[in-house]
Amino acid sequence: MRKILLIASALLCLAASAALAQTYRSEAAVRALQEDRTRAGNNLNSYEFPVIKDTKPPRGYKPFYISHYGRHGSRSNWGGTAYEGVISVLEAGKAIGILTPDGEMVLDGARKVLAGWDGMDGRLSQRGSREHAALAKRMFNRYPQVFKGQKNVRAFSSTVQRCIISMNSFTNSLVRQNPKLEIRLDTGEKFMDYLDNEKGWQQKTARAMMKSRDYMKNVPDDTLGVLTRLFTDQEAARRIVTSPRHFTDDVFNTAVVAEDFDIENDIYSVLPFDAVYNRWASNNMFLYLGHCNSVDAGLDRVEMAKSCVEDIVTKADEAIRTGNYAADLRFGHDYPLMALVSYLGIEGVGDRLEVDEICDKWLGFWNIPMASNLQMIFYKNNDGDVLVKFLYQEQERLLRGLEPFYGPYYKWETVKANLEGYKRF
């Protein structure tokens, strides 16, 4: 009887664990990750170019100016420890003849990732450069009226090399479309005050970010499943892999950056879906709680984007008043961009959420991949009335809690008057 009770108790624990795991599953995230596991990298996911769809503006309004903030393109990650760890373990397995074909594939992929990193943290990859060249061409083709003839464009970059090179790739692409464009490039510490204003964010959001770890800590995690895909002898493998969880982390961290180097080895394929989903979910919550409009810490964190918002308003008003500029282009980083679109109230990415809503309603692989971009397209009519449309990841977006003038189009003066509106929703 005691044995039966123990078995029953164990089964109940397993059922409870399964139920607990299920509570952390976002159906939308599961579908997207099963469709393409590279999305599990969230802010390391390479940019996915969407189909462009435009709502026609009201009659008489034509585009004349674009205000933009773009994150740098695909890049290397920080440190090579994870890749070196995978290589060390798999080479040990290879030496004693227990690697599966998948093990050989992951070993080859990890070596390529390590070579791509090459000791350079945050290095823009060739893929990252192509992303910005393509984004610029798509912007030009979408709004040729803005860039027609001899026009002036201002471009400002973070002082970080990956942003400077992204700016160069973007602006060079524009000039290839219209050699008459006069583009001024600039970078410097002064511009960091609004392009990368995130001083003190960790202190402001630390308590909120802890919730991402607390929320996920009891979720069952399959860290042994990866060993069965990589090694033919599990007993021998466990002698090599001293910590299956840590090794699974290393394999995952190698997989998330492979695409940024155009590496085609499908490293994700050896990871159980539970392991992929749980790591995605924890990072997804960390990103949102640290940099977006969370109920817990959003007002403190998002306020730090005010300097960038002020720059957008000042330069847009100047362009409207003088007609001297076709575009103002800014090149920066993911964290400031998340705070910026939250400040502006961009629907979907800037929503104000509780902790248990995040993974259902905020998906980092679409909201902040490499080369993420905010484009504000300004229109005017013959009477000088100005409208603005917001594009995020090149898709039309509404502003949370603000009624548009027509379709996705807002009166510029209405937007300016509502810039503090994110605090009310």
- pLDDT band for 61, please (50, 70, 90 cuts): very high
CB 387 within 8 A of CB 380: yes
Contacts of 341 (CB under 8 A, 6+ apart): 349, 350, 374, 392
Asked which of 54-58, 71-75, 286-290, 298-302 is least confident by mean pLDDT, the reply is 298-302
Provide the pLDDT for residue 52: 96
Tell me the per-residue pLDDT of 35-47, one tens digit each, with 9 for 90 and over: 999 999 999 999 9
**Using CB atoms within 10 A of its CB, is residue 261 exposed (0-12), middle (13-18) or buried (19+)?**
buried
Which pLDDT belongs to residue 223?
A: 82
Domains of the chain: 39-77+123-204+289-424 (3.40.50.1240), 78-121+223-271 (no CATH)
pLDDT at 423 over 60: no
Cα 240 to Cα 88: distance, rounded to the nearest angstrom: 10
Supply the pLDDT for residue 217. 73
Nearest to 322, CA basis, from 151, 69, 157, 143: 151
pLDDT in tens, 367-398: 999 999 999 999 999 999 999 999 999 999 99
- In this prediction, residues 85-105 reach a mean pLDDT of 98
Asked if residue 298 has pLDDT above 90, the reply is no
Sort residue 386 into left (φ over 0), alpha (ψ -120 to 50) or beta.
Answer: beta
% of the chain beyond a pLDDT of 70:
93
Contacts of residue 419, Cβ cutoff 8 Å, sequence gap at least 6: 309, 313, 343, 344
Residue 3 scores a pLDDT above 70:
no
Residue 334 has pLDDT above 50, yes or no: yes
What would the DSSP string read from start to end of 193-211? HHHS--TTHHHHHHHHHHH
| Prediction pTM value | 0.92
pLDDT digits (tens, 9 = 90+) for 130-186: 999 999 999 999 999 999 999 999 999 999 999 999 999 999 999 999 999 999 999
Residue among 211, 390, 419, 203 at smallest CA distance from 295: 211
Q: Examine the pLDDT at 218 and tell me if it is beyond 90.
A: no
Q: How much is the average pLDDT of 261-270? A: 97
DSSP string, 84-135: HHHHHHHHHHHHTT-B-HHHHHHHHHHHHHHHHHTT-TTPBPHHHHHHHHHH
Average of per-residue pLDDT across 403-407: 96
pLDDT at residue 20, as a whole number: 38
| Residue 422 pLDDT grade (very low, low, confident, very high; cuts 50, 70, 90) | low
- Residue 330: beta bridge partners? 69, 156
- Residue-averaged pLDDT of the chain: 91
Residue 2: pLDDT band (50, 70, 90) is very low
Task: Quick: pLDDT tens for 336-362.
Answer: 999 999 999 999 999 999 999 999 999
Please determine, for residue 15, whether its predicted confidence score (pLDDT) is greater than 60.
no
Note whether 350 and 344 are within 8 A (CB).
Answer: yes
C-alpha–C-alpha distance, residues 234 and 5, integer Å: 31
pLDDT for 425 beyond 70? no
Q: How far apart are CA 263 and CA 230, in angstroms?
A: 19
